[in-house]
Structure 1
Amino acid sequence: MDPMDLHAVLTPPLSFPLTPFDEDDRVAADVLAEHVGEQIAAGSRAVFVACGTGEFSALSRSEYREVVRIAVRVAAGRVPVFAGAGGGAATAREYLADAAECGADGVLLLPPYLVSSTPEGVLAHIRYAVRDTRLPVIVYQRANAVLDPDTALQLLDLPQVVGLKDGIGNIEQMNRIVTAVRTSGHPRAAGFHFLNGLPTAELSTAAYRAIGVTSYSSAVHAFAPDLSHAFARALDAGDQDLVDDLMAEFLLPLGELRDKVPGYAVSLVKAGARLGGLAAGPVRPPLVEPTEAHTETLAALIEAGRAVLRKHAADAEGAAE
């Protein structure tokens, strides 16, 4: 894939499909194929499988390959498939090779396993991991993988690295990184991509847009793509009333619910998919399932979000008459 084509590909909201498991704790291949197909049909221009929402860290290597192959088969060239890759340096390199062999179009490089380091150490890890791949790689900055403007600039010298996804949320530091890259004069500076990768990224879109980061991952897309796309369209159209109402009735309460229990950024998404009729199965440990009360709250929030859409559609129809 030509990195210059990524501008259209990374148009939000980006889909990060779940990995469904069956009652025997195996990857539910048919359900995964259904899920990926629905995510593409809903309008996402790229799918990122076996990443955080897809429980990369809970998959065996053979399961990882199965997930990537299924997504590639279902996508059938309609949209690109990015696969997560992570772990220690040598392990990440092996997953990058697996992603390429299984037909992925690109990779999201997840933070190194457990070990903390300096920005220079993180950069060395990235260099080591991507050295042998020809796939375009987006680096995920979060947890123990934190860069600074100087090390982010050096990503431009790695032709495989086409973007940086931020999951830290330090807007001032991210602004320094974006500005350093854009004003560097490097031949790749203008085409380098930045993504907002915070949990429930819709909550922080205004702050990231203010520093020139318009693309974002949407966990909501995995269980309520209609709400995800409605929000993105409202942002693009400058429909602040709809943005505000979705924030108040759905997104902000969803963020509050997500923060009640560690790991809910994934397990709530899977619960939401099950509420929508997908046989997604449980999350794997150490993630924990939402309580019955929290699942009921999630269902109410989804309905509240859709009620907002119905109200705005009715208001628009009335104004047109």
Structure 2
Amino acid sequence: MFSGSIPALATPFRDGTFDEAAFRKLVDWQIENGSSALVPCGTTGEASTLSNAEHHRVIEVCIEQAAGRVPVIAGCGSNDTRNAALHMSFAKKAGAAAGLCVAPYYNRPSQAGLIAHFSHLAECCDLPIVLYNVPSRTVTDIEDETVVELVRKYPERIVAIKDASGDLSRVADHRMGIGHDFCQLSGNDELWLPHAAAGGRGAISVTANVAPRLCADFHAAIAANELEKARELNDRLFPLHYAMFSDASPAPVKYALSRVHDWFSPSVRLPIVEASEASRKAVDEALEHAGLV
């Protein structure tokens, strides 16, 4: 259902509030530079610091500005099943193509709890679901058997997974358990190339925020089986992948965007603070290595 370079969009703030004008510019720039879909209100979008009203407005603006040029996968995750269902319902009405639903964080549900959570979301709204597994943040891991059970139970609802577990064997496990047509997207930029080699369709990317054309070209090279070109582009992007996490995310990517565009502020919301001097240095060097500044 989805493929290619899909940025997990940063949410710009100015004077403490959502900078709608900058976000509209970011959406246009991403589409003009080859991004195949957009993800507002994910982890990189600081969804955990947005009020529900802000969360919904960011989704609404993204869909409005994209204007059907690319699909929008709206971040709908929450550690409260009822609130996730609320986000799903809003995203469906706003015109999202799917909802990105992270494993509930902090609560530490069992695998039975995860099945109950995602089953409720699948049954309460007909918006397609992209599972999001990122145990380094949520603690809870959506285990392979749980993914297989959910997809078999709701094949028309649960259409993809963003896997940020870092375990590349899961790509094959999911292919064996579900089938080759199930859409698997990497959630780790630095693993995008081997994830694709194992059967992945693309990545929901942090780096694509600041390097959309390079990331789109990288995916195109992979899709065309032009491995030499893909490796060359991967080498250009690799320091940037690590620089994006040289401090608490999304501070580094917001700093990087402020280097590339004067209309994008590096401002973040507490408890995240702006990128440290060491992080800014790492980002500057990576931007130069990639030829972006």
> CA distance change for structure 1 residues 58 and 170 in 2, over 3 Å: closer, same or farther?
same
1:245 to partner: Cα distance: 4.1
1:230 aligns with 2:217: yes
Q: Find the aligned partners of 2:116 and 2:71 in 1 and give their Cα distance.
A: 27
Q: Please give the secondary structure, in 2, of the residue aligned with 1:131.
A: helix
Q: Find the aligned partners of 1:75 and 1:255 in 2 and give their Cα distance.
A: 26
Counterpart of 2:209, as a letter, is A
1:93 aligns with 2:85: yes
1:32 aligns with 2:17: no
Task: Structure 1: give runs of 5+ residues left out of the alignment.
Answer: 1-5, 183-189, 308-321
Aligned match of 2:286: 301
1:231-268 alpha-carbon deviations (Å, 9 max, x no partner):
223333444444444444541x334434543x23x221
Q: Please give the secondary structure, in 1, of the residue aligned with 2:161.
A: strand
Relative to the length of structure 2, the TM-score reads 0.89
1:90 to partner: Cα distance: 1.2
> CA distance change for structure 1 residues 145 and 126 in 2, over 3 Å: closer, same or farther?
farther
Aligned match of 2:186: 196
Q: Please give the secondary structure, in 2, of the residue aligned with 1:299.
A: helix
Aligned match of 2:196: 209
1:89-130 alpha-carbon deviations (Å, 9 max, x no partner):
111111111212333221101221311133232121111233
1:296 to partner: Cα distance: 3.4
Q: Find the aligned partners of 2:246 and 2:277 in 1 and give their Cα distance.
A: 14
Q: Find the aligned partners of 1:222 and 1:74 in 2 and give their Cα distance.
A: 16
Select the structure of larger CA radius of gyration: 1
1:262-309 alpha-carbon deviations (Å, 9 max, x no partner):
x23x221111111111323411122222123432331232122128xx
1:149 aligns with 2:134: no
Task: Structure 2: give runs of 5+ residues left out of the alignment.
Answer: none
CA RMSD between the two structures: 2.1
Q: Please give the secondary structure, in 1, of the residue aligned with 2:165.
A: coil
1:166 aligns with 2:184: no
1:213 to partner: Cα distance: 1.4
Q: Report matched runs for 1:117-136 at 5 Å.
A: 117-136=109-128
Counterpart of 2:24, as a letter, is A
1:155-194 alpha-carbon deviations (Å, 9 max, x no partner):
2221321111111011224422321111xxxxxxx54211
1:53 to partner: Cα distance: 1.3
Relative to the length of structure 1, the TM-score reads 0.81
Counterpart of 1:304, as a letter, is H
Counterpart of 1:58, as a letter, is T
Q: Find the aligned partners of 1:173 and 1:273 in 2 and give their Cα distance.
A: 32
Q: Please give the secondary structure, in 2, of the residue aligned with 1:17.
A: coil
Q: Find the aligned partners of 2:26 and 2:61 in 1 and give their Cα distance.
A: 11
Contact 2:34-2:213 at 8 Å conserved across structures: no
